[in-house]
Structure 1
Amino acid sequence: MSQADLVVRRAALAQAPQDYVDLFVAKGRVLGVFPSGSQPAPEGAKVVEAEGLLLLPSLTDVHVHLREPGQEWKETIATGLAAAAKGGFGSVMCMANTDPVNDQAPITETMLDKAARSHPRGPRLYPVGALTVGLEGKILAPMEELKTAGCKAFSNDGRPVSDSELFRRALEYASDLGVPVIDHCEDPWLAPATGVNEGVVSARLGLRGNPDISEAIQAARDCLLAEYLNVPVHLAHISSRRSVEIIRAAKAKGAPVTAETCPHYLILTEEACEGYNTNAKVNPPLRTGEDRQALLAALEDGTIDALATDHAPHAAHEKETPFDEAPNGISGLETALSVTWELAARGELSVEALIRAWCQRPAEIFGLPLNRFQLGDPADFILFDPNARWKVTPQALLSKGKNTPLLGRELTGVVKALYVAGKHVS
């Protein structure tokens, strides 16, 4: 066995915080986790005193918008990865709705080059290639070329492919390449992208709302195609009880369907849009308390596999407009772990489900580095203070996007350190 070059002492396990452990790392890989003090640190090893901080695998976010190239006033790869590191993310997947769209290899390669130059120690960046040319839903993108360049998934991002025949062919081709397809589930005719749920709040505000059936109809189509073709599909940012029921039924029949939801659907409801709050305008929209409870239950039982931020930064002036004119999106990389940890602290979500949804399942679904703290696993981990409090202010956020409905709120839980492949990142 290799000799450890890094030892983290007196860390606490999240599932058993009363038990202190020492983590041994060699050449960026886990050697083992031992009862604290039971193994001496090798001479010359770097020793980090955790002093009771929680030891967790680094998080994986499979759905972020880093805006570069073309929209650098919203975010850059450098600022987005800095925000990801602060939030505890060791790996992130960036969507293709850049300008130009990431539908050809040179754009993918440029993204990877910028990530390597700005954050050589991590977080790791994995581009998501466009499913169709220009995200226009008409012609399939050169998927094999994009995979070779480094894309880990394909998606039409926020512009769902309404042509079911084209989407079928996309699923088949992607399956042949061994690359998952991520779909934004939204019927293109049922009030698309309005940013507010169709219900009592939209009626009170006099806004056209997006009904939950808009998401559920497309989710049902995708589940049926996955079952019929026996090829995988991953459903992005699920927001409603109806969709959960469809996914649960599809999985019960053996359909190769996976799904994610986002922290904002677990902690907020449509009421956050009161007062025409554009920072709460997101697509799919925040929904009802019943939907929130259904999503929490689905995370707990595994119907929803993963958590993802759908980090969507915008400049302040873009959100400071009438509700109908403001872009959809919430900036979420830096608040994600804090708000979901608070759910666990309140007993609304188990720690086991939280770790499964943030760390294990995203990596398994997309073939990304996965740390279970077993021998040989990548030493991607965080040291987390579950009791530290911080206030969400524009100054506290490293992302250029300050557009979050959590501004001014005090949150509990702070990432004190992130390590990627055994290297201290932040």
Structure 2
Amino acid sequence: MIEAPPLAFVNARLLDGTGIDRAGGLLMQGGRISAVGDIEIPDGVPTIDCDGLTLCPGLIDSRVFRIDVAAATAGGVTRLCLMPDQSPTLDDPAMIERVLRLGQKRVWVHPLAAATTGLEGDAMAEVGLCLAAGAVAIATGRAAIRNAAIMLRLLQYARGFDALVVSHAEEPDLVADTVATDGEVATRLGLASHPAIAECLMVARDIRLAEHAGARLHIAQVTTAESIALVRAAKARGAQVTCGVTPAHLLLNEHAAYGYRTYARLSPPLRSEADRLATVAGVRDGTIDVIASGHDPRTEEDKRLPFGQAEPGMVGVETLLPLALTLAHNADIDLKTVLAAMTANPARIFRVPGGVLAAGAPADAILIDPDAAGRIDASALASPARNTPFDGLPVYGRLHGVWQAGRQIFGAF
């Protein structure tokens, strides 16, 4: 990549998830941030007057199933963690290297290695070689590892590399062929119901196995009050456990499935209102570390089916920022907390660069108006897929510009 020329920002609100919240400027040089706050601008350096807009680190989306560059750019996401559920599966170092070679233009891509061969849960993949090839973590993919002995072996092996294991926490036998959370909505609609305890069982199992192995564990999504309580208790014991959630589980509940709206068919399914409120509280108090989009584009053919036959998943990388800002406004969560869940926290957990406004950090930044009102318009999304349950939702936040390695990739300045 050709090095970007120097660039300065002035009259900005500087905000990141590490505690920076002040008026000032920022200087980018050589693809990195060289100064923050009260800056001295060298002669001849182009300067952007932010006029009070908020300058933040570029977002890090730690759970995507497809590289969607246009959508990421339009959403202020400058760094992605790619799940191993690809074709072919990311269970081989050659596949990891291929992602790294092809996926760095306009968005940084960090592949996660498959925990088991073909993500079938039967035999460990060559995770050590995949880590050496550049994978930033090991993931079980869209499903949990059913066999506890294999999961323990994986965690023990990962401990030797000080590698992060990312788990999908749903007991496979309890959720097989289910499509909606067990409760009134599933009953009224006649849908195969998914017991919420299926998540709690796997969260409890994987936490205990990780503690026994002394390994680092990240639970990709926690969506029930009981699961969040388990994570909170594990953190209190000093376990190396972190967790994430998607905007859908923070802003929607099981009632979104009424009308058999297949765009609201997700995995895990949307939960009860009590569980939704528990996820919001988990973000507020820091139990939930990460807000990730779970970006999983589906075609109309995948979704224009009876609810029980439709594929789960939603596009999300482009709507991550406005939905998170809307959460901050509506749920009275500090903006720094929400921003940290999409910047500093995933950078720390996945050990990837960026996520902060600091001298020496990558010059990945976004310029936003966090209070501007807007509306999600599925027809205007940059992603070729349109499967979002948020179409028409009033939101907060407007993106004015995106810079990756000091080079502007979105906006007009």
User: After TM superposition, is the score higher than 0.5?
Assistant: yes
Distance 1:19 1:303, change over 3 A: closer
**2:19 is aligned with 1:9:** no
The residue that corresponds to 2:288 in the other structure is 304
Matches within 5 A, 1:266-415: 266-415=250-399
Partner AA of 2:286 in structure 1? G
Deviations 1:212-250 (A, max 9, x none): 110000000011112222111110111110100111111
2:236 equivalent to 1:249: no
Q: Is the 8 A contact 2:250 2:280 kept in 1?
A: yes
String of CA shifts for 1:178-209, please: whole Å, max 9, x gaps. 32110000011113363311111001101111
Alpha carbons of structure 1 residues 398 and 193: separation in structure 2 relative to 1, 3 Å: farther
Indicate the SS of the match to 1:144: helix
Counterpart in 1 of 2:51? 51
Preserved CA contact (<8 Å) 1:101 1:135: yes
Equivalent position to 1:98, from 74, 86, 98: 86
Percent identity between matched residues is: 34
Given candidates 220, 223, 238, the residue that maps to 1:239 is: 223
Q: Answer whether contact 2:164 2:215 (CA < 8 A) is retained.
A: no
Q: 1:132 and 1:287, CA in 2 relative to 1: closer, same or farther beyond 3 A? A: same
Counterpart position of 1:165: 149
Higher mean C-alpha displacement, 6-15 vs 330-339: 6-15
CA 1:374–1:167: 2 relative to 1, 3 Å: same
Deviations, residues 337-385 of structure 1 (Å, cap 9, x unaligned)? 1011112123432112112211111100111113432222222211012
2:101 — aligned with what? 113
Does 377-386 or 25-34 show the bigger shift? Answer: 25-34
Letter paired with 2:217: V
Tell me the CA shift for residue 14 of structure 1.
Answer: 4.4
1:31 equivalent in alignment to 2:34:
yes
Q: CA deviation at 1:148?
A: 2.2
CA separation of 1:151 and 1:59: change in aligned 2, threshold 3 A: same
Write out the 4+ residue segments of structure 1 that deviate beyond 3 Å after TM superposition: 13-20, 387-391
Instruction: Please name the residue that 2:409 is paired with.
Output: 425
Tell me how far 1:254 sits from its aligned partner: 1.3
**Counterparts of 1:128 and 1:18 in 2: how far apart (Å)?**
32
**TM-score, with length taken from structure 2:** 0.93
Unaligned runs of 5+ in 1: 67-76
Using the alignment, how far apart are the partners of 1:18 and 1:81 within structure 2?
Answer: 29
Q: Distance in 2 between matches of 1:162 and 1:17?
A: 43
Q: TM-score, normalised by structure 1?
A: 0.90
Give the CA deviation at 1:263: 0.7
* Kept in 2: contact 1:115–1:125 (CA 8 A): yes
User: Which residue is equivalent to 1:197?
Assistant: 181
- Of stretches 328-337 and 372-381 in structure 1, the one that deviates more from structure 2 is 372-381
Tell me, yes or no, if the aligned pair for 1:128 and 1:152 is still in contact at 8 Å.
yes
Q: For residues 48-88 of structure 1, give each alpha carbon's deviation from its aligned partner in whole angstroms, at most 9, with x where no partner exists.
A: 2222211111111110011xxxxxxxxxx3xx022112111
Aligned AA (1:91): R
One-letter amino acid of the counterpart of residue 385, structure 2: G
Mapped to 1, the partners of 2:380 and 2:123 lie a distance apart of: 42
CA distance in 1, matches of 2:242, 2:144: 17
The superposition leaves residues 289-332 of structure 1 with CA deviations (integer Å, 9 ceiling, x where unpaired) of: 11111111111221111111111100112100000100010111
Q: Are residues 255 and 34 of structure 1, via their aligned partners in 2, closer, same or farther at CA, if it must alter by over 3 Å?
A: closer
The alignment covers a number of residue pairs equal to: 404
Q: Quick one: structure 1 residues 18 and 32, their matched pair in 2 at CA, closer, same or farther if it must change by over 3 Å? A: closer
* Residues 100-133 of structure 1 deviation map (CA, whole Å, 9 limit, x = unaligned): 21111222222222213xx2xx310011111000
SS in structure 1 at match of 2:8: strand
Distance (whole Å) between structure 2 residues aligned to residue 47 and residue 305 of structure 1: 35
Alpha-carbon distance in structure 1 between the residues aligned to 2:316 and 2:242: 22
CA contact (8 A) 1:314 1:400 kept: no
2:399 partner SS: strand
Whether 1:262 aligns to 2:250 is no
Displacement after TM superposition at 1:413 (Å)? 1.0
For 2:159 and 2:403, locate their aligned partners in 1 and report how far apart those are by CA, in whole Å. 33
> Does the 8 A contact of 2:143 with 2:169 survive in 1?
no
Residues 390-411 of structure 1: CA distance to partner in whole angstroms, max 9, x if unpaired? 4333332111221011112232
**Is 2:322–2:396's contact at 8 Å kept on the other side of the alignment?**
yes
CA distance in 2, matches of 1:34, 1:177: 38
Equivalent in 18, 23, 31 of residue 20 of structure 1: 23
CA displacement at 1:19 relative to structure 2: 5.4
RMSD in angstroms over aligned alpha carbons? 1.9
User: Would the aligned equivalents of 1:182 and 1:234 in 2 still touch at CA under 8 Å?
Assistant: yes
| C-alpha distance 19-165 of structure 1, shift in aligned 2 (>3 A) | closer
- Distance verdict in 2 for CA 1:414–1:246, change over 3 Å: same
**Higher mean C-alpha displacement, 345-354 vs 180-189:** 345-354
CA contact (8 A) 1:157 1:184 kept: yes
Cα distance in 2 between the residues matched to 1:288 and 1:303: 19
Contact 1:237/1:310 (8 A) holds in 2: no
Q: For structure 2, list consecutive stretches of 5 or more residues without a partner in the other structure.
A: none
